[in-house]
Amino acid sequence: MTITNIVLIIVVLAIAGYAVFYVIKKKKTAEVEATLNVDDKTYTIEMMTEFVKRRLDEITKINLYDIGLSEEELKRRKNKKYELKKALKGCTYGDVNDKRYVKELIYDLLEKEYGVTETNISKAIPFDIPSLLTPQDKFDILIYVYKKEFGYEALTELIKKYNLAELKYIEGETKPSYVITTNEIEDIFEKENLVLSFSDKLEVVVQRIYQHYKGYSSIDEVRDMNIDGVSGGVSGLPESFLSQVAQTDGGDYLNQIAEHKVPRACDSIWIFFQGKSIRLAFLSFGTEAELKRVCQNIYKYNNPGQLSDTNGYKINEMKDGSRVVVVRPSMSETWAFFVRKFDVKRSTLEQWFKGEPGSDESIELLKYLVKGARIISITGEQGCGKTTMLMGMIENIYETMNIRVQETAFELHLRKIYPTRNILTFRETETISGQEGLDVQKKTDGSVNIIGEVATDHVAAWMIQAAQVASKFTLFTHHAKTFPNLVTALRNSMLRIGQFNNEKTAEEQVVQVLNFDIHLTKDFRGKRYVERITECIPVEEKDEYTFDHRKEKTLEGKFDKFFDNATHYFEKVTDRKLYTYRNILEYVDGEYKITNPITENNLKEMRLNMDATDIESFDKFVEKHWGNQLHQKETVEVSAATTSETKKRGRKKKTEV
């Protein structure tokens, strides 16, 4: 064998060996990549969510009698099973304790059974690579960290710290709006420079799994915060609009929608924060189906009935006392919900006025109006703080008075604020009307009647009825803009339901009932304040008919007297003024100012309803603010009475002569 052949054999063997090595290496690399791919899929949010659903389903459906447990262990496992079933049901109603229990169980399942570790948790959410985090990831992390320190004030603290509730211009819009953008969240996340432990990361992942399984999707944590409310589906393009666009505008607009440059209805998440509606532009439900799921679940507490195409809306409360309104097509153009929260801890008059100039006297005046048992309306637009003001005023009702409340949906929750008071709330149901509820209230020894919101004709009739016969005094809220509008609206409600046929008679009933109106205003920047407190003053009807025609000697004189009486009659029937009104407090240039005095009739009635201590302080208050005006008024009245008496004597003397 020649040297050449040997070299060729060596070369061939080397090539063959390299080829075998390359094939084996490639196969191993493919196996590793396949393994990594399996791991990537295994530890995604979707896969872990499916695992959690399956395991919780197994736990709640397992037959404990088939696994041979001891009696003590069987009893313990039955209790745990019952507790889990209860929590899984309660957490969908907004119960934060049930939510905490379910999340703790999910945490244990992922850590102990699914094998989530420090290494693979980043395959669910890339915590270690901030550039790969979505705006929702960053927001979830921020809320989790702030919640550890501030509890349910987390969102409030975040908004205040970075001035997020300010008017701002955003790209593509010509007018400023209240919005929190993606860029703002990313900047805040970068500034915070957060360092998370494995436990923190797993808590964030657990929250993400929970909100898509049993929670309210992207708004789940937001809904729990101490804010005024949250809503969804109220902006952006609904699904029904997209088909119309496809037929008319062609592909460009549809491409923008597909790239999420144009917001869809499922991208619509708004919060109501300190009187401002703020759009969370960085959050989205993702799909129309997810928005629909939230709408179908969020109103279910206490089984209020089915939301259907026939019955396209539901008004209900959640377990924490929040009011929820849900609407659906075809009543509305898209699925939408509105959650309104009432922070009972802050519902005091002092908190409402926030120490502005003149607020101490204003608070004192409001307290005397309540202690004086005056019938008071609280008016203003939606979101101006009527319910919060009403809650704060109730604090000043004497403890000896029993309170009865009539509402469409439970909102005030007064027994949470005053657990030792005699308070009972009624609401109308599908089978029990509000009128029946009011009739029952009359037999429950109530002293004060509170109507949560006079929003319909029938509720207005309840209010008038309650104020006349059912209680010592009444408090209620209404959406009227001015005092004459309030009287007119209540009068028209009485006419529409058929209680009265004559406008004057209906208006007279309203005026006789109503004592004071507190009007609240929310300005463009969301500031809420008491614009005015107005007193209603009924005009007393004076009998000015005369019978002097009998003394007239001529027919012409008798006709003159007859026409005087006829003129007076037609004035009474057609254009008689039933009331006047005047402001006793006004908000002027950022300061509360007490202006006109309360009428003597109301002052007298208020004193009759106060205890001795309050009468003394009330008299000092009246003397301080209106003493001079009242003295001048008394002087004028005495002078007028003297003049009138002198004229009578003169006429009498002249007649005798």
pLDDT tens, residue by residue, 606-627: 999 999 999 999 999 999 888 7
Tell me the C-alpha distance between 342 and 320, whole Å: 10
Tell me the C-alpha distance between 522 and 213, whole Å: 38
What's residue 7's pLDDT?
65
Tell me the C-alpha distance between 505 and 500, whole Å: 7
Nearest alpha-carbon partner for 293 in 335, 329, 265, 324: 335
Residue 505 pLDDT grade (very low, low, confident, very high; cuts 50, 70, 90) = confident
Q: What is the pLDDT of residues 415-437, one digit of tens each?
A: 888 888 899 988 877 788 777 87
Q: What is the pLDDT of residues 253-292, one digit of tens each?
A: 555 555 556 788 899 999 998 878 899 999 999 889 999 9
Tokens of 441: 């209230």
How does DSSP classify residue 598?
P
Helices 483-496, 503-513: axis angle to 10 degrees equals 120
Domain boundaries, the chain: 1-36, 126-341, 366-541+576-610
Q: Which residues does 318 contact at the CB level (< 8 Å), separation at least 6?
A: 93, 94, 298, 301, 324, 339
Residue 470 pLDDT grade (very low, low, confident, very high; cuts 50, 70, 90) = low
Residue 31 pLDDT grade (very low, low, confident, very high; cuts 50, 70, 90) = very low
Query: What is the percent of the chain where pLDDT is above 90?
Result: 33
Question: What's the Cα-to-Cα distance from 177 to each of 168, 219, 279, rounded to whole Å?
Answer: 6, 21, 9
Q: Is 325 helix (H, G, I), strand (E, B) or coil?
A: strand
Q: Which amino acid belongs to residue 547?
A: F
The CATH architecture one would assign to domain 126-341 is 2-Layer Sandwich (3.30)
Handedness of CA 285, 291, 293, 295 (dihedral sign): positive
Q: Is 14 helix (H, G, I), strand (E, B) or coil?
A: helix
Q: Is 432 helix (H, G, I), strand (E, B) or coil?
A: coil
Question: What's the Cα-to-Cα distance from 386 to each of 150, 412, 517, 522, 629, rounded to whole Å?
Answer: 27, 11, 12, 11, 31
Q: Are the CB atoms for 409 and 323 separated by under 8 Å?
A: yes
Tell me the C-alpha distance between 526 and 520, whole Å: 12
Tell me the C-alpha distance between 326 and 539, whole Å: 45
Residue 119 pLDDT grade (very low, low, confident, very high; cuts 50, 70, 90) = confident
Residue 20 pLDDT grade (very low, low, confident, very high; cuts 50, 70, 90) = low
Tokens of 645: 């008496």
Class for domain 366-541+576-610, per CATH?
Answer: alpha beta
How does DSSP classify residue 355?
T
What's residue 64's pLDDT?
75
The C-alpha R_g of the chain, in whole angstroms, comes to 36
Tokens of 179: 């919005």
Tokens of 465: 């009825």
What's residue 137's pLDDT?
94
Q: Are the CB atoms for 444 and 404 separated by under 8 Å?
A: yes
Residue 461, burial from CB neighbour count under 10 angstroms (0-12, 13-18, 19+): buried
Q: What is the pLDDT of residues 525-536, one digit of tens each?
A: 778 889 999 999
**What stretch of H or E contains 316?**
strand 313-317
Tokens of 422: 């005699």
Q: What is the pLDDT of residues 392-414, one digit of tens each?
A: 888 889 988 999 888 877 777 78
What's residue 633's pLDDT?
56
Question: What's the Cα-to-Cα distance from 95 to each of 102, 141, 208, 209, 223, rounded to whole Å?
Answer: 11, 22, 17, 17, 11
Parallel, antiparallel or unpaired: strands 229-232 and 269-273: antiparallel
What's residue 384's pLDDT?
83
Judge whether residue 452 has pLDDT over 90: no
Q: Which whole number is the average pLDDT over 303-317?
A: 88
CB atoms within 10 A of CB 585: 23
Angle (CA) 179-342-340 rounded to 5° is 50
Q: Which whole number is the average pLDDT over 312-336?
A: 89
What's residue 542's pLDDT?
61
Judge whether residue 355 has pLDDT over 80: no
What's residue 357's pLDDT?
87
Half-sphere exposure of 346 (CA within 13 A, CB side): 15
Judge whether residue 222 has pLDDT over 80: yes
User: Sheet harboring 167-168: ordered strands across?
Assistant: 167-168, 177-180, 276-280, 269-273, 229-232, 336-340, 323-327, 313-317
Residue 647 pLDDT grade (very low, low, confident, very high; cuts 50, 70, 90) = very low
Q: Which whole number is the average pLDDT over 93-119?
A: 90
Residue 169 pLDDT grade (very low, low, confident, very high; cuts 50, 70, 90) = confident
What's residue 547's pLDDT?
67
Average pLDDT, the chain: 82
**What stretch of H or E contains 583?**
strand 579-588
What's residue 555's pLDDT?
74
What's residue 365's pLDDT?
93
Judge whether residue 648 has pLDDT over 50: no
Judge whether residue 645 has pLDDT over 60: no
- Among 19-33, 100-114, 216-230, 352-366, which stretch is predicted with the lowest mean pLDDT? 19-33
What's residue 38's pLDDT?
43
Q: Which amino acid belongs to residue 602?
A: N
Tell me the C-alpha distance between 506 and 64, whole Å: 68
Tell me the C-alpha distance between 290 and 212, whole Å: 9
Tell me the C-alpha distance between 614 and 437, whole Å: 34
Residue 573 pLDDT grade (very low, low, confident, very high; cuts 50, 70, 90) = low
CA dihedral of residues 594, 598, 603, 607 (deg, nearest 10): -20
Q: Are the CB atoms for 44 and 123 separated by under 8 Å?
A: yes
Angle (CA) 243-249-254 rounded to 5° is 60
- Among 40-54, 242-256, 473-487, which stretch is predicted with the lowest mean pLDDT? 242-256
Tell me the C-alpha distance between 412 and 392, whole Å: 11
Tell me the C-alpha distance between 371 and 512, whole Å: 20
Residue 142 pLDDT grade (very low, low, confident, very high; cuts 50, 70, 90) = very high
